[in-house]
């Protein structure tokens, strides 16, 4: 029977690349999105190209009720979620001193509380079956902190802490929890950076290029599968050597 992956924020960027990577390996894919209708064309592409089943699930993953409803719908459709990829996220740039409370809360709920909501909804099913893998998308800024991105860095540091602690807690239940920590990856999230800044970031990267969504999708797929069956609680940095 085909396995199923649920990817949050799979309509664009890294999430869409993950959807493609898993579909290529025969997984049914639940494509969560917030507002991008591109999710539907992606779903059609995956079915046409790889013959897999897909489900587009609109939900604001920063809201507990929407997240739980989405997981319930996915389990009803496919019976089980073998792999949960907590990918959806937003960035926020600006001085900490001018960060408004609602901005802070939006970043924390979208990037961190969402991981709590979706994981909490999926785990009872995984525990019952004594199997499953969770891969969270962190960020190198969660590892080392970024000036003028304090809320974002805090949310991603939270994801890293959650990954390590939960991995210890659920390992006896046969479930692995890991994170991929991307460096600078060329997606819509980087649109606010001009050409000059992107070139500077490239020059600062020891491997002399910026990352692609595919770089991250390959790492996520690796951590989710049998090749990584003795790996849990790890933060795999995929950043071209930017942070070592």
Using CB under 6 A as the binding rule, whether residue 62 contacts ligand NAP is answered as yes
Using CB under 6 A as the binding rule, whether residue 184 contacts ligand NAP is answered as yes
Q: Which of 5, 14, 57, 107 binds ligand NAP (CB under 6 A)?
A: 14
Using CB under 6 A as the binding rule, whether residue 21 contacts ligand NAP is answered as no
Footprint (CB under 6 A) of ligand NAP, residues 76-105: 87-90
- Tell me which stretch binds ligand NAP (CB under 6 A): 10-18, 125-133, 160-168, 228-236: 10-18
Q: Which of 187, 205, 232, 237 binds ligand NAP (CB under 6 A)?
A: 187
Task: Return the number of the residue (85 or 133) whose C-beta is nearest ligand NAP.
Answer: 85
What is the per-residue binding string for ligand NAP in 188-227, x denoting contact by CB under 6 A? xxx-------------------------------------
Task: Return the number of the residue (1 or 244) whose C-beta is nearest ligand NAP.
Answer: 244
Determine whether 50 is an active site residue: no
Task: Return the number of the residue (115 or 133) whose C-beta is nearest ligand NAP.
Answer: 115
CB of 108 to ligand NAP, least distance (A): 12
Give the whole-angstrom CA distance, residue 122 versus residue 119: 5
What Cα–Cα distance (Å) separates residue 153 from each residue in 8, 87, 134, 143, 180? 19, 15, 21, 8, 15
Using CB under 6 A as the binding rule, whether residue 71 contacts ligand NAP is answered as no
Which residue in the list 27, 33, 117, 152 is annotated as catalytic?
Answer: 152
Instruction: Give the interface with ligand NAP as residue ranges (CB under 6 A).
Output: 8-15, 32-36, 60-62, 87-90, 110, 137, 139, 182, 184-185, 187-190
Give the catalytic positions in this structure: 152
């Amino acid at each position: 029977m085909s396995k199923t992956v649920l990817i949050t924020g799979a309509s664009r960027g890294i999430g869409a690349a993950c959807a493609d990577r898993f579909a290529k390996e025969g997984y049914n894919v639940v494509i969560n999105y917030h507002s991008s209708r591109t999710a539907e064309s992606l779903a059609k592409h995956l079915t046409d190209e790889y013959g897999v089943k897909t489900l587009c699930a609109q939900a604001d993953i920063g809201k507990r009720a929407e997240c739980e409803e989405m997981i319930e719908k996915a389990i009803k459709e496919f019976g089980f979620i073998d792999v949960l990829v907590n990918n959806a996220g937003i960035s926020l740039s600006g001085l900490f001193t001018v960060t408004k409370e609602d901005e802070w809360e939006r970043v924390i709920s979208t990037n961190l509380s969402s991981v709590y909501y979706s994981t909490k909804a999926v785990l009872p099913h995984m525990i019952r079956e004594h199997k499953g893998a969770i891969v969270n998308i962190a960020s190198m800024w969660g590892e080392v902190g970024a000036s003028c991105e304090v809320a974002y860095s805090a949310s991603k540091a939270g994801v890293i802490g959650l990954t390590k602690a939960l991995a210890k807690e659920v390992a006896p239940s046969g479930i692995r929890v890991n994170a991929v920590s991307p460096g600078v990856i060329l997606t819509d999230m980087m649109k606010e950076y001009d050409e000059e800044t992107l070139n500077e970031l490239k020059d600062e990267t020891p491997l002399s290029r910026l990352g692609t969504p595919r770089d991250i999708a390959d790492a996520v797929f690796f951590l989710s599968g049998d090749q990584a069956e003795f790996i849990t609680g790890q933060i795999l940095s995929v950043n071209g050597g930017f942070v070592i």
